[in-house]
Copies of this chain bind each other. A is one copy, B any other.
Amino acid sequence: MNAYQPRLADHDFILLDVLQAPQTLAALPALAEHADPDLLRQVLEEAGKFVGEVVAPLNREGDEVGAQWRDGAVTMPPGFRDAYQAFWQAGWPSLACAVEDGGQGLPAVLEAQLYEMLSAANHGWTMAPGLLHGAYECIKHHASDALKATYLEKVATGEWLATMCLTEPHAGSDLGLVRTKAVPLPNDSESRFALSGTKIFISGGEHDLSDNIVHLVLARLPDSPPGPKGLSLFLVPKFYSDGSRSAVVCERIEEKMGLHGSPTCVMRFDEAPGWIVGEPGKGLNAMFVMMNAARLHVGLQGIGLLEAAWQKADAYAQERRQMRAPGSASNAGEADVIALHPAMRRILDTQRAWIDAGRVIGYRTALELDTLKHHPDAARREAAARWCSLVTPVLKSAWTEQAFSGASACLQVFGGHGYVREWGIEQHVRDARVAMIYEGTNEIQAIDLLLRKVLPDGATALRTLLAELAVELGDSPAAARTREAMARLARFTGEHLLPHTQAAGAAADTPYWLADDYLRALALVLMAWAWSRIGATAGADAGRWSQAQAGFWRWIWPEFEMRLGMLENGLTPA
């Protein structure tokens, strides 16, 4: 079975035709010079070539051999280091970093697509550079000039890789419980702190891909208050500038369900000297600056993983013959290809409907990130911030969920052959499972959406977003259906949910019980919007898009009605 290969025509259609990215970029002075379809297409083409030729072929062995720990050192699977060295030297990590920091200053939407393709090709390998851009933003916006002088360009270009050291054994979703300590080093000329503690689940905490590793570490200063407000952020490198090694040890790597190409490290800090990044007690703020981008990337991972699984299942379904399909008039031997069997068609079209709509929403989110950063008009930046804030948790949660359940559906296309390793499809199921957990579990995303983004402002942002989306719809039957659904979700939120939660004596837990269904309902509304836009763009000659479009309305969309009913019932439990 062939490895994943990017299908660039699909990317181009969504980015250039459906979303008309060049128009968006043309309004951003810093990016206007890249608002050229040919240039965007060319970058994607080069990216696709690198991904397909260099990264994708390493995926299988990356899973089978895995990262190997020995005496604190981690050896990456065959070919991983060479591919990474070629990757950063070709300038891919710095695609969307500022030119003055050694980057190329290209739009974030290109980086988003690059990482979608990389995740599809080799999820394990991609974990290593996956954190770079966040670390770059974090250092750029919060570190001192002295720290930036040493670390910013190295991280921007990817010459040195980076980690985020947050989780501890007792502190996962609840970072307020973090115990790692940072004690000021007396008489240190660089005003450093000694960090002590154990961090777990550190992706790429140790490896042989790059010559140095830059750890960003959440820790607690002496006498800091308990809880999240007592957390500060620190930078501890594997090697200091003088070549000496820091007191940071990789104690072991985890045995995992999948993602074997990425070492998940237990990192012990033994009074390791490091610098504070940003202000004391503002550690979470400094990390959250990169949260929207990181969550968007996890959502795009979901899309990439699903595309990879779909490619395998689709190819198999076009080849494997079992039984005659109902109503088959084929003359080809005793059995038809299983792609003609309705149950298999449904699986394949359903995944395509998720992938295509996910790309519309994901690439649009990346364009909104570009807009947020670069648009001269404050109102437009505010609208972009609204989009990112509301849509990102939905994309992260719903598309990582689908990456797992959809990869499992693709496995089903192979029958028993899917359960054995031979065809490689089961690796996608195992790899995809982690994305529902990291960067905030999907349950946390749902709480973030409803409790932090929708309810606090009286649903104003949500209603504004839906109104803006409605404007972009044409007047097809699909558009009308989408508009009606938007109106119903807005009405439920404003006329039922809000008054309910604001009523005197309202139970504090009601919205927590509804959060998952609410996120799901919004995901479906966004998908309906995306498919209305694809339909309007593809037009009557929808070709390759028409099957997935029909699949969306038939097999995915009915869930909206169910979720809305569950939300309504949730306000008046039996």
Contacts and interface: CB of A to CB of B under 8 A. Distances in A.
B421 A515 contact: no
A573 B546 CA distance: 14
A433 B411 contact: yes
Contact of A434 (B257, B419, B422, B554): B419
Nearest to A344: B443
A525 to B, nearest CB: 16
Contacts of A507: 327
B554 A558 contact: no
A504 B291 CA distance: 59
A393 to B, nearest CB: 14
Interface in A394-453: 404-405, 408, 411-412, 415-422, 426, 429-430, 433-434, 436-438, 441-443, 446-447
B343 A515 contact: yes
A254 interface: yes
A429 B417 CA distance: 18
Nearest to A425: B257
Interface residues on A, range: 35 or more
A416 B562 contact: no
A573 to B, nearest CB: 7
Contacts of A559: 562
A335 interface: yes
A421 B561 CA distance: 38
Contacts of A411: 433
A466 to B, nearest CB: 23
A566 interface: yes
Contact of A430 (B257, B412, B446): B257
Nearest to A506: B327
Given A554-B566, A555-B566, A327 B509 contact: yes
Interface string A535-574: 0000000000000001001110011011001100110011
A516 B412 CA distance: 14
A513 interface: yes
Nearest to A417: B172
A550 B513 CA distance: 13
Interface string A467-492: 00000000001000000000000000
Given A334-B226, A334-B227, A412 B443 contact: yes
A73 interface: no
A254 B429 CA distance: 18
A255 B412 contact: no
A201 B433 CA distance: 26
24 contacts: A171-B322, A172-B322, A172-B415, A172-B416, A176-B323, A176-B334, A254-B422, A256-B420, A257-B419, A257-B420, A257-B426, A326-B508, A327-B508, A343-B443, A343-B515, A344-B443, A412-B437, A412-B443, A415-B441, A419-B434, A550-B573, A554-B574, A558-B565, A562-B562
Interface of A: 167, 170-174, 176-177, 200-201, 226-227, 254-259, 264, 321-323, 325-327, 334-335, 341-344, 346, 404-405, 408, 411-412, 415-422, 426, 429-430, 433-434, 436-438, 441-443, 446-447, 477, 507-509, 512-513, 515-516, 550, 553-555, 558-559, 561-562, 565-566, 569-570, 573-574
Given A404-B408, A554-B574, A562-B562, 11 more contacts: A172-B322, A201-B416, A254-B420, A257-B429, A325-B509, A342-B515, A343-B512, A346-B516, A416-B438, A555-B566, A559-B562
